[in-house]
Structure 1
Amino acid sequence: MALIGVFDSGVGGLSILDEALRQLPEHDYIYLADSLNAPYGEKSSEWIALRSMELCQYLAAQGCQAIMIACNTATAQAIAHIRAELNSIPIIGVEPGIKPAAMQSHNGVVGVLATEATLKSDKFNALLATLPSDCHFIKQSGEGLVPLIEAGKANSEETLELLAKHLITMQDAGADTIVLGCTHYPFLKKAIRKLLGDSINLIDTSDAVVRQLKRKLETPQGKLTNDKAGTVKFISSKDAETLHNMAQELMQSDLSAHHTELELVSTFK
């Protein structure tokens, strides 16, 4: 079975790991959270690119046979360079699901909730330019949301108040679909539905990302299969125990079915 690296600025990528454990539980995983430096969305593009490269090089050195960059901001700023540098293994990124959102919206009004760095990136805007002009996209930075999720406050009143402010423009425009353009934001689904109701269509691309990983892992001989659940190693640049506790709280997967390890790594050289 393969060893797969999953990297994010913090706990957001747990939404991707959760889906990976659902679809591909037989593989071994390293989940690397750079929580010491979270959030990435408010940092410079140069810093994000350099740090993302460093962390992916670390995962490759651990023997990972594929890496999922489970961070929209890092994908937007760094994935092209990472793929060029680590060209011997699959590098799978995440990006806001604006294309499926445009296809699924009934009234052609789509909200995009993402980090400022993602919304300003060339990669995001190049993708946006390819979509039909009859779909109106309302872009909104979710500033302040990631730190609240990192602090375990995804469903707190404080988060609800901030989220309501971020969603008001989309709500006023009549958006019937919202793109969750940061891997942290799927953990806000409950709060968003509390504010906007169950009829709002929320686009989360974690399923598509893991299906892409599955395709990359298939061999000419066929799919890799094994009934035994693999291991999960949680590595943090800040607090591995807190990361593990957050994983147990936020993820739907039963981590007790997997052998888990915790590690604190302050430098990635």
Structure 2
Amino acid sequence: MTTSHPIGVFDSGVGGLTVLREIRRELPHEDLLYVADSGHAPYGDKSKDFIESRSTAITEFLLSRGAKAIVVACNTATGAAAKLLRSRYPVPLVAMEPAVKPAVERTCSGVVGVLATRQTLASHNFSVLLQRVGQGADIQLQPCQGLVEHIESGELDGPALRDLLTRYLDPLLERGADMLVLGCTHYPYLTPLIREIAGDGVTVLDSGAAVARQVRRKLDESGLLVPSGRCGREHFWTSGQTARTQRLISQLWGSEILVERLPEPETKEAPFSLGGLALEGV
């Protein structure tokens, strides 16, 4: 690996763009590769074995494109597959950790609400996180089935989404939560709506900026930070419908971008390998 190689980032869909944007702000000179596994989103209702299979195959794809580091920009994939990926691939790997620690440190009411997928909340990683940093507050967990699907369809507001989000927020607010932790990288797109529903007395936290700082630290430690004086580029792939995902990513990214089809077999449920594909580096 050299400093000129890109950083690989992936998520179950477009949620990881919230992390990608923070990485771009922190590291403006780096080239970034992004895979939206929208053809298999959401990961929150998939098995651990399936998520491991997808995460492994996508990581191998990103490495085949020359990635010098991997960012698992998905809390569910982190809980299910980050340990396996770290054991298998000798590159810097940065994964997600919900912002429970800063929420516990900053709460005045002593109640912290965590919004996440059911898979994330049930993961060993999250259990360890709560044991490590969650002892100073009443941590209320709220699985949020259906939110990812709204965001993947490009719906960031609307009556149905408001009703669903209100149903998830009300129990946390009734318990007195003054900190809401977004434990899914899709959810920051709903921050304006969450703030509107929750009111001014509630702080909304996500970990995208912290992940970007960790990427910088890991690359610096490995001597892989690209020198300044150049503008980094982004390159996007998806396992979903290419034209639809391109429109959605362009909408969320704020500029017109090109999305390519992620090479894979037609079946969605069977594990797959990218071995044998002749892929050129970026």
**Range class of TM-score, shorter chain:** over 0.9
* 2:44 match: 41
2:195 and 2:204 in contact (8 A); partners too:
no
Which ranges in structure 2 are unaligned for 5 or more consecutive residues?
265-272, 275-282
> Structure 2 CA distance, aligned partners of 1:32 and 1:185?
18
Instruction: Report how far residue 199 of structure 1 moved.
Output: 2.6
Pick one of 116, 120, 131 that aligns with 2:133. 131
* 1:7 match: 10
Distance change in 2, residues 1:83/1:220 (3 Å): closer
TM-score w.r.t. the length of structure 1 is 0.92
- Look up the equivalent residue of 2:206 and give its one-letter code: D
- Look up the equivalent residue of 2:65 and give its one-letter code: Q
Q: 1:147-166 alignment to 2 at 5 Å?
A: 147-166=149-168
Distance change in 2, residues 1:70/1:223 (3 Å): closer
> Structure 2 CA distance, aligned partners of 1:218 and 1:266?
32
* 1:32 match: 35
1:4 and 1:66 in contact (8 A); partners too:
yes
1:234 and 1:240 in contact (8 A); partners too:
no
Distance change in 2, residues 1:124/1:207 (3 Å): same
Instruction: Report how far residue 251 of structure 1 moved.
Output: 3.3
* 2:259 match: 262
Q: 1:118-197 alignment to 2 at 5 Å?
A: 118-197=120-199
- Look up the equivalent residue of 1:113 and give its one-letter code: L
* Structure 1 residue 97 corresponds to structure 2 residue 94: no
Which ranges in structure 1 are unaligned for 5 or more consecutive residues?
none
Secondary structure, counterpart of 2:7 in structure 1? strand
TM-score w.r.t. the length of structure 2 is 0.88
Q: For residues 37-79 of structure 1, what are the alpha-carbon distances to aligned partners after superposition, in whole Å with 9 as ceiling and x for unaligned?
A: 0000011112111211111111111110011000000001110
Q: For residues 184-232 of structure 1, what are the alpha-carbon distances to aligned partners after superposition, in whole Å with 9 as ceiling and x for unaligned?
A: 0000101101101133111110010000001111267796432322221
Secondary structure, counterpart of 1:110 in structure 2? strand
Aligned residues: 263
2:16 and 2:73 in contact (8 A); partners too:
yes
- Look up the equivalent residue of 2:113 and give its one-letter code: G
* RMSD after superposition: 1.8
Distance change in 2, residues 1:3/1:221 (3 Å): closer
* 2:237 match: 235
1:218 and 1:224 in contact (8 A); partners too:
no
Identical amino acids, percent of aligned pairs: 38
* 2:248 match: 246
2:101 and 2:134 in contact (8 A); partners too:
no
Secondary structure, counterpart of 1:41 in structure 2? helix
* 2:24 match: 21
